[in-house]
Structure 1
């Protein structure tokens, strides 16, 4: 089965599935494998549900000529996405970073959509499977695509760039995320800089936060020359000032001596740089200030990222989609300066920190204790190890914390709810 032949099948429906629970009539089902599953076993079920073809890599599951046998299903999916990308003659903005990837992606998309037919990565489909699926979701009407690229080890961004083939790119920041896979902070920088290396080779444009010394160093090492800067100082294409962030962010920004301001629905001063990035990219693609501001002011945060939610009892900063030491520290700094009579932080363990885990959890617990908050709740075995060293309530599991919250209701508080995705802190929201 050649890529070209498979592509001809794809063009008939442009529908791809990797999950038999989501089979569309006429789609192509890719039977991927994982540590605990082998989707070759579901080839027959996919056909029965309406798939036009199934792509498999085990001959034992080839039932008929609708079963397309290949050497490796994942590699085939990636090759098909590359082939489709080669047919597209549009700007593709590759976006990565330790924090703020998804929010930045959504903001950039919201701004560009004011003028263009855009495509942006859906949800968090940003890995070696998600990026190919995203590319294969781009149709002929799309004028600009924004592709989010995540990574937890080196060479992953390099691979994703060969699939998405970005013409423009941005690294939001580099921080203390996935330290285990990257091998420390310098490894994070090296891994994220793979986007810069690709853009250098492809002669693409790069958007850089000039306030971030790490990004400047990385861009200089990569030898980038098509640079567009944003930040808080003069000399940038976009200069911005954070006017307010209590609780929602208002930004004043200047471009070519033309000043403008915008009020957003985002909370958290750490989102200021994400907003500036979207302004800079919108300006690069010739949107006027009115269009840029409209995109930003109309954007409503979702997916439990910096999402301000009013419950019957409290105001909750829902920021529990994920967490690492950099984002956790920024969230604590943010709530410490917000106006509220009573403040509570409920913090869950941070994952994938490797040998740095104990040190980083201790530093966050220390910062939380020094933040001047009324109540601190720590959840998870990593934080629990410090229950005798710091003030606060410590629980080993979210279930234990839920029991406490049921018996000791939190009322009229501003609550920060943040932890790694695996902690499933959303289970606590009903008690807040």
Structure 2
């Protein structure tokens, strides 16, 4: 069956599904395979659960004529997404970066949604499976689609761009994330900048943060850009005011008081403002949408427990974001500060060095109540004021002795550490 014929079947369905536990009536089920699962084994379950068609790549999985046999389910899903993107032909805004992708995506979404019909990547479905699923959820009646792109190796962003074919692109930043796959910070820069390469090769539009030298360097002399930052010469001028604890900015003589912490969120907010301005969203609606946006899903959430203020930033961590969070905590005007930090993953050969860099910064800038959790932090050289625990369960006895009145607590670590569990100890 050709991809065009499969597309006809897709259009007769209500949605796309890859998990039989989340089936919707009359969906099209793609039997994806992984190291520890094979979706072909669940075809009967999918059909019994309401799937209208099942795309499979195992001839033995054929149950009836509702099964569509292809050479490879994943490549079919990706080709279908590209075909769909071409058919609906709506403007696509793509973004990537080392930190802040999801927060930035959500900020852009809330700003544009005040004026237009917009749909964005759900959660962080931003890889070679998530991007096709996002595109297939878009409809031609949308004014804009927002696609988040993640990567941990070079050529991944290039691959995703060739599927999504974005009209607009932005990179939040370049940092020390996924060093194991990219090999080095320069590898990260090269990999993320593949989005700019696509933009330049196809004469599309890039949004450039002029406060970030690396962005200017990577976009080079390309002229189809919209610039933003504090300099009045930018296409969109946004000034950073303060971040104690929440980021405040000035845009068109209006003060915008966000509910996001840390100066590192300035660029994320500023690009959402720049995109709103470019697409002619009224200033009042830009201001209101940003001020009403609240972070969630363990991303820089502010949580109150009695007189204690908790900064829950446990969705993910890398050396760049960890250091930024610590610098932000240091600047906060609060007397009692507690740190619960978990290991940073996917650093490869740089893991030992990067964890020690974090420890050295802590030693110089914080006095006590410092708790490090995980095998990587366990290997670091520290003074006696820092307490290290190999696994999460080991911290409970020490936690029970803490004085948490009028304290500010930072909880940060990679997703696999699941440090949000600390909330249950309060």
Tell me whether the two structures share a fold, i.e. TM-score over 0.5. yes
The answer for the alignment partner of 1:262 in structure 2 is: 256
CA distance in 2: counterparts of 1:119 and 1:282, whole angstroms: 15
What displacement does 1:313 show?
A: 5.5
1:63 paired residue number? 63
Residue 28 of structure 1: how far off its partner (Å) = 0.8
Contact 2:318 2:344 in 1 (8 A): yes
Q: CA deviation at 1:408?
A: 4.1
Distance 2:143 2:305 in 1: 40
Residue 391 of structure 1 deviates from its aligned partner by 3.2
Contact 1:387–1:394 under 8 Å retained in 2? no
Q: Indicate yes or no: 2:399 matched with 1:405.
A: yes
Of residues 261-270 and 383-392 in structure 1, the stretch that sits farther from structure 2 once superposed is 383-392
Pick aligned residue for 1:308 from 279, 302, 309: 302
Tell me if 1:354 matches 2:348.
yes
Asked if the contact 1:14–1:136 (Cα under 8 Å) also holds between the matched residues in 2, the reply is: no
Is the Cα contact below 8 Å between 2:107 and 2:290 reproduced in 1?
Answer: yes
Aligned to 2:338: 344
Counterparts of 2:389 and 2:405, CA distance in 1: 20
TM score, norm. by length of structure 1: 0.96
Residues 14, 137 of structure 1: 8 Å contact kept: no
Partner of 2:228: 230
**1:390 Cα shift?**
6.3
1:16-415 aligned at under 5 Å gives the runs 16-220=16-220, 224-253=222-251, 258-312=252-306, 314-386=308-380, 388-389=382-383, 391-406=385-400, 408=402, 410-415=404-409
Counterparts of 1:103 and 1:139 in 2: how far apart (Å)? 23
CA RMSD, 1 decimal: 1.4
Q: 1: distance between equivalents of 2:392 and 2:314? A: 13
Q: Is the contact made by 2:92 and 2:165 (CA closer than 8 Å) also made in structure 1?
A: yes
Q: What CA distance in whole angstroms lies between the structure 1 residues aligned with 2:398 and 2:33?
A: 41
Which digits, 9 at most, give the CA deviation of each residue in 1:121-175, with x for residues without a partner?
1001000000000001112321111110000000100111111110000001000
Whether contact under 8 Å (2:90, 2:140) holds in the other structure is: no
Q: Is the 8 A contact 1:153 1:182 kept in 2?
A: yes
Stretch moving more, 67-76 or 379-388: 379-388
Distance in 2 of aligned mates of 1:117 and 1:374: 50
Mean alpha-carbon deviation: is it higher for 410-419 or for 321-330? 410-419
- Give CA deviations for 1:363-395 in whole Å, capped at 9, x if unaligned: 001112222354111000100112545631100
Partner of 1:423: 417
Question: In 1, are the aligned partners of 2:352 and 2:380 still within 8 Å (CA)?
Answer: no
Give the conservation status (yes or no) of the 8 Å contact 2:92–2:144. Answer: yes
- 8 Å CA contact 1:342, 1:374 repeated in 2: no
Report how far residue 241 of structure 1 moved.
2.1
The secondary structure found in structure 1 opposite 2:411 is strand
Moved over 6 A (4+): none
Aligned-pair CA distance for 1:180 = 0.7
The alpha-carbon distance between structure 1 residues 86 and 398, as it changes in their structure 2 partners (threshold 3 A), is same
SS in 1 for 2:253: strand
**Inter-partner Cα distance in structure 1 for 2:419 and 2:314:** 6
Report the 3-state secondary structure (helix = DSSP H, G, I; strand = E; otherwise coil) of the residue aligned with 2:222: coil
Correspondence for 1:10: 10
Task: Tell whether the 8 Å contact from 1:154 to 1:182 is kept in structure 2 after alignment.
Answer: yes
The 2-side partners of 1:130 and 1:431 are apart by 34
Q: How high is the TM-score relative to the length of structure 2?
A: 0.97
User: Please, which runs of 5 or more residues in structure 2 have no aligned partner?
Assistant: none
- Indicate if the aligned counterparts of 1:243 and 1:249 stay in contact, CA closer than 8 A: yes
Q: Tell me, yes or no, if the aligned pair for 2:359 and 2:382 is still in contact at 8 Å.
A: no
Deviations 1:170-189 (A, max 9, x none): 00100000001001011001
Tell me how far apart the structure 1 counterparts of residues 277 and 89 of structure 2 sit (CA, whole Å): 21
Q: Is the 8 A contact 1:336 1:373 kept in 2?
A: no
Structure 1 gap ranges (5+): none
Residues in 1 aligned to 2:87 and 2:403: alpha-carbon distance in whole angstroms: 57
Q: Is the 8 A contact 1:112 1:295 kept in 2?
A: no
| Contact 1:243 1:251 (C-alpha < 8 Å) held by counterparts | yes
- In the alignment, the residues of structure 2 paired with residue 178 and residue 187 of structure 1 have an alpha-carbon distance, to the nearest angstrom, of 10
Q: Secondary structure at the match of 2:365?
A: coil
**8 Å CA contact 1:232, 1:241 repeated in 2:** yes
Number of residue pairs aligned between Structure 1 and Structure 2: 426
Asked if structure 1 preserves the Cα contact closer than 8 Å seen for 2:372 and 2:386, the reply is yes
Whether contact under 8 Å (1:346, 1:377) holds in the other structure is yes
| Counterpart-to-counterpart distance in 2, 1:42 and 1:168 | 39
